[in-house]
Structure 1
Amino acid sequence: MCGRFAMDDTVNQMITEFVTATGRAPEEWQADWLATPIVRPTDQVPIMLKTLEDRADPSSPLLPRAALAQWWLTPPFSPTLRGKHATFNARSETVTQKPTFRGAVKHQRAVLPAIGYFETKKTSTTPVPHYINSPSGLLFFAGLYSWWQDPSLSQDDPTRWHLTTTMLTQAATGTLADIHDRMPVIVASDAIDDWLDPRTLGDENFVRATVAASAILSEQLHAEPQPRR
């Protein structure tokens, strides 16, 4: 599983371009997350998503959005914001079946941008952390998002809504499998629009195709051993 990933200002620049490409303002986008460039589960992380301008009309224009979300997906039916079971990763093999994720994967898909992520190679002696990135630039992790409403707050309280997210994972391939048995599902930059499009049903075939493409992209990743701290 992926429990840490890294970001820098290039992520913020890319998100700003993503939102303003349609001529719209960046919707009060704030880059406060840059104070913590290495993020961990339950941290607030930037995500990219798209919604219909009119949710009742499938043919209405799509609106690109960037927002900060809790990296720990909370489904609407959860009684608490952070349940006892970890939901910052979602296994691609079961994401369309698990109650926690199957609603979101249908139409509420997101992308988590990063400059790299961390995994630890466990050996018979000392575990060795590795930093994994792409020589070609940013990584885009396939994700899901979900809105959770705090039942303890009144309906007219705007703080009752919490945006949450998760990252899809798959079986590691190639040399990455020597480090850890899982890896994030990566979305190619030219496939982001397809992954985010809420008009496309996120069924098992759609997820499988995304995972297959990710396995090819992973061949370009580079892993660097890191000093233990």
Structure 2
Amino acid sequence: MCGRYIITDTAADLAAMFDVEHEGVNLPEPSWNIKPTEQIPIVLESAKQEPTVRRLEAARWSLIPSFASDMTSTFATFNARSESAAEKPTFKKSVESRRALIPATGYYEWHTEGAKKTPYFVHSDDGLPLAFAGLYSWWRNPAVADDDPSRWVLSATILTADAQGPLATIHDRIPVALPDDAWDQWLDPHTIGNQGFVDAAVGASRALAETLRFYEVAPLVGNGAELIEPLHGDSD
């Protein structure tokens, strides 16, 4: 799973990295301790514009399906299991045409042994940002007036898959990190996504996942660069 992550790049850095043509408003600042329901930067393309325009937008991290009556949910929606996302009512429409990339410098994972939970920081071997495969949704808040710009809420989730290799020693799930040659197809809203499409994306992510490195960090308190300092003075 992915329940905390970091992004240390600015909006301008991300716009250049992902060839973004339009930057949205109120984009979040870099953070070393992003939690579910907080605002995160996502990259998306919309079929409502022709030709499509690649955008960098701020989204709530925990997807709200368009049919929801309010923001609350009986289950967590900050992650979506890749194996079943295309079948779940919460995520199905997003799999079809509302897919996003979620930039991340790295993420935290906890290894549990009995009652003890040990945090690790997972990152790319070259220090470059990752692009998690995500889904997004627009939700109309019925409690907000029609003329209020905040009536439309953009939200997103991160796809996860079974962990393999060394990462499986700390947790059985990992976020799906896509290589850059898979970004365009994942974002293309004209490509109708289904379970096979998601499975192919997971397959494309496997080689990149094998290059990820991790090391133990101190318990997460606060929000600063010190959170990713290796606990034992070294890292993989």
TM-score of the superposed pair, with normalisation by structure 1? 0.89
In structure 2, what is the equivalent of residue 179 of structure 1? 170
In structure 2, what is the equivalent of residue 4 of structure 1? 4
Native 8 Å contact 1:111 1:192 kept in 2: yes
Native 8 Å contact 1:72 1:82 kept in 2: no
- The number of equivalent residue pairs is 219
Is 1:51 aligned with 2:50? Answer: no
Question: Aligned to 1:98, what secondary structure does the other structure show?
Answer: coil
Superposition pairs of residues 70-89 of structure 1, within 5 angstroms: 70-89=60-79
Q: Once the two structures are aligned, what percentage of the paired residues are identical?
A: 40
Shift of 1:13: 3.7
Aligned Cα root-mean-square deviation (Å): 1.8
Native 8 Å contact 1:49 1:111 kept in 2: yes
In structure 1, what is the equivalent of residue 35 of structure 2? 40
Unaligned ranges ≥5, structure 2: 221-236
Native 8 Å contact 1:7 1:115 kept in 2: yes
Native 8 Å contact 2:28 2:41 kept in 1: no
In structure 2, what is the equivalent of residue 209 of structure 1? 200
In structure 2, what is the equivalent of residue 16 of structure 1? 15
Question: Aligned to 1:166, what secondary structure does the other structure show?
Answer: strand
In structure 1, what is the equivalent of residue 143 of structure 2? 152
In structure 2, what is the equivalent of residue 110 of structure 1? 100
Shift of 1:223: 0.8
Distance 1:173 1:190 in 2: 22
TM-score of the superposed pair, with normalisation by structure 2? 0.87
Is 1:189 aligned with 2:180? Answer: yes
User: Structure 1 or 2: larger helix share?
Assistant: 1
In structure 2, what is the equivalent of residue 57 of structure 1? none
Distance 2:211 2:106 in 1: 13
Distance 1:133 1:91 in 2: 21
| Runs of 4+ off more than 4 Å | 28-31
Native 8 Å contact 2:98 2:189 kept in 1: yes
Distance 2:186 2:102 in 1: 12
Unaligned ranges ≥5, structure 1: 55-59
Distance 2:115 2:73 in 1: 34
